[in-house]
Every structure is written in C-alpha cells, then in structure tokens.
Amino acid sequence: FWLKPCGAQGRRAVFAFSPSLPLPSSALEAMASRTVVGTVEPPAPPLLKRSMLAPHGPELRPQYDQEDEWQEFCERTDTTKVHDFGRYWWTYGRDEDDDGFLREAVFLEVPLRKDADAKSIRANLTTRHLTLTVQGDVIIDEDFEDCKWLNVGESYWEIEVKEVKKVRRKVLRYVLYILMDCPKYITRWLFLSEKTEDDGRFVDQNDEEEDNIDDRLRMIAKMKEPEPYRDADIWFSETEEEEERWCDGCGSTRVVVMKKHTDSRYMKYCNDCPFVSPAKGNSLPTGLLKQKDIDEKRARKKRLRARKEEAKKRLEAEKERKAGAPDRTEELPEDYNKSEKTRLYTDEEFCDALTKALRKGEIKWEDY
C-alpha cells in the first residue's frame, strides 16, 4: 500500500490510503481499530530566556570622531565606580526595597571600629545635611551638594562586615534612596565638600550641567552609527572627490587624466593651458584609505590607553609598597558572629524570652 497526500486543512494533513495489494483481514481489522487522536502540530520555537539575550542590550559603538566623547560619557555614568574619600566612600546603583522593586539609591559606606554596635550610632539625616556620630565621635558632618533628590523617609543604615583594603572590618552602610520623580543621577558629587580643595577653591569654577535623564537621552541620540566595515576586496566607484581634478598651473577644472606611451605614470593634461602635472595615484580607493587611516588611529589610541593603564597599575603597586602592611588593629576574627544562629521558639518560649529581655532592659518598651 502507499500514502498519497491529498491536501491540507489548516494544520491537519489529509492522506488517502490506497492498497495496491490485497491485505489480510487481520491487518485490516488492526488498522481499523487504531484511531488517530489529535492533530499534527509543527514544532514550536523555544521561549526566549533572559540568558539568551544580551544583559544590557547591544553595545553602542559610534563613529570614530565621537568615540572619545562616548567613552567619557560611559565612564561618568558607570555605576561600578567607587568615589573614595578616605574616611568614607560611596557608589551609585540600585537597591531592592521592601516591595521587591529596584530603586535608584546612593550607597554610602563608613568604616567603623570593631567594638562599635548599633546602640552607639546616632544618625541625623535631612534633605540638606547628614550627621553620623559613633560612640560620641562625629564621623560625618557634611552638607549635600544638592538638596532636591533625597528621600529621607525611606533611607536606612545597617552594619555589615566586609573586606576593606585587605582587612576584614565593620562598615556602616547607609542606603540613601532617590525620589521617584527626581530626574537627576548622583554620579559626580555627593557632599558639598567634595567640590572644594583644601584651600577653599572650587575644583571646577564653571557651571556644569546636571546629569539627568534628558541629557543622557540627548547624548545617546547624538551618536551616529559608523559606516559598515569593508573588506579589502570591496571597491568604491565614487572617488572623484579625492582625485584632485584641477590643473596645478591655472586651476582650471577642464583636465584629462591619462597615460601616454611616453609617460611613466598617469598625468593631468589641462585643456586651458599647456601645464602638465602628475596625477594623484593611490593603490587603494578612497573609502578603503579612510578606513585604513581610522584603523591606524584606533590602534594608536589603544596602545596609548594600554600604557596609561599599565602606568596606573605600577603607581598603585608603588603606593601599596610604600604604605607597607595594612593596619589590622580593627580587624575582626574569622569566627565573628558565628555563634549567632537562628533559633526556633514555640509561642510560650518566645513569650518567656521576650519577658526576660524586657525585665533585663535589653528591649525598651515604648508606647506611641
């Protein structure tokens, strides 16, 4: 027997059964007893997962003339950059709030002594000023550079243990949330004192533009896509602009570029004067010459950037060598807080533990 396709109805294929030879009755009964359940469906494409896509979208690559401006923009808006001022440092990024949403925030970190605890810390935060007092000592008493972005009500601080300059110590981490309707990014200055030198002079006397959403969108829209990269076997027909089709003697544009049997190279013959000059000869077309020149400039810039990075690493290594071994007086042991484990209580045990803590004064009961 054989199967012959007769047509299609939607996604269901229709076949005609035509026996060419007589089949036994048992085979016909078995085929008749089998029923086809369902329809023939084509394989569906797999769902696109987030890991299959670029994490931050395609990387922008502008023209060569705009590469320096774009590189400066990327460095200025880099959220991994740490603004270190010795006694504190801060970064700009996102933090997950209590509702599970990512919020824009500034993460301010201050190193603490190993005997500091939450009871000895006093923080006074307003939209204009921040005061941090630890064990009676004022650590930070600074005015903010801008007073229009801070969400005081939702900002909070906590104590963490992390490695600071190869030393494991306590750090106060203050999460300063940004208002939802604030279009500004905090990427350059946090406190007003960061803009001044020791003698009171401002670092930049010129009024600079704020880093906000509109400026970033305009910057991205200003970038132009570079021309597609051509291989060496692609030639261009429009090269007359670079062939210097004018007479070097009188300046007339009525010239003929040709090579006579007595000439060793192509020459420019002027129709208005007898002046003859050698024509501009290039081994490559105009487009490939421009592309080759840009490639050489990019390679030179890349070598210069690599030398700067290497010099920066050598300078940091020299500073570490001169500084010597790090100060480990405030270092915490490896088994710090390992004794604190999560304990499960019944309702009665929890009430008893809470009552004992209240009687000892470990927990203060306040009525609002």
Structure tokens of 35? 């029923």
DSSP code for 77: T
pLDDT at 47: 41
pLDDT digits (tens, 9 = 90+) for 261-312: 888 888 889 999 988 888 876 666 667 778 888 889 999 999 999 999 999 9
Q: What sections of the chain are H helices per DSSP?
A: 25-33, 67-76, 213-222, 286-323, 347-360
Q: C-alpha angle 77/82/84, rounded to 5°?
A: 130
Taking alpha carbons only, the member of 196, 105, 90, 200 closest to residue 140 is 90
Taking alpha carbons only, the member of 146, 137, 99 closest to residue 116 is 137
Taking alpha carbons only, the member of 75, 110, 142, 55 closest to residue 330 is 110
pLDDT at 12: 42
pLDDT at 29: 59
pLDDT at 314: 93
Which segments in the chain show pLDDT lower than 70? 1-59, 196-209, 231-244, 281-286, 338-343, 365-368
Q: Which residues pair with 142 in a beta bridge?
A: 130
pLDDT digits (tens, 9 = 90+) for 156-196: 999 888 888 888 888 999 999 998 888 888 888 889 888 86
Q: Residue count of the chain, please give it.
A: 368
**How far apart are the C-alpha atoms of 261 and 70, rounded to whole Å?**
53
- Is 336 exposed, middle or buried (CB count within 10 Å of its CB: 0-12, 13-18, 19+)? middle
Distances from the Cα of 230 to the Cα of 59, 235, 243, 286, angstroms? 20, 9, 21, 12
Structure tokens of 334? 């490896």
Positive or negative, the CA dihedral 308, 309, 312, 318 is negative
